[in-house]
Amino acid sequence: MKEELKNQFEDVFAEHGRKVEQLRQVKVAKESAEEQFIRAFRERCTSVIKPALEHIAAYLATKGLKTAIAESQDQAGRDGRQETREQISLRVQLGMGASWK
């Protein structure tokens, strides 16, 4: 193979390698940012959100309403793949005859 052709191939492969590395770095940075967000959300749930919901639930109980606080993490997505979904919710039962399943 001629040296000039070999060098052209080397340039193409080197450029491809740089692009692959850039994509890898972007993916790592994105995952890191998502992990930081999830960790911060979990901390806020424990220290702020859940206690606030518990206070609201206690108040609603004095008014005769039934409540439930639910937390969930890591659920299957619609396509069956594992997704990270962090949720916390306060459910309030309205009506006398209604019941939760």
- Residue pLDDT tens, the chain, 101 long: 788 888 898 999 999 999 999 998 888 888 888 888 888 999 999 999 999 999 999 999 999 999 999 998 876 667 777 776 789 999 999 876 556 65
Residue 99 lies in a domain: no
**Residue 98 within a domain:** no
pTM of the model: 0.59
Domain hosting residue 17, numbered range: 3-93
Domain assignment present for residue 68? The answer is yes
44 assigned to some structural domain: yes
Q: Is residue 43 part of a domain?
A: yes
pLDDT of residue 32: 86
Residue 57: its pLDDT value, please? 96
Listed residue (34, 41, 47) closest to 72, CA to CA:
41
98: burial class by Cβ within 10 Å (0-12, 13-18, 19+)? exposed
Residue type, 76: A
Helix (H, G, I), strand (E, B) or coil at 6: helix
Distances (CA, A) of 43 to 23, 39, 50, 51, 70: 30, 6, 10, 12, 16
Structural domains counted in the chain: 1
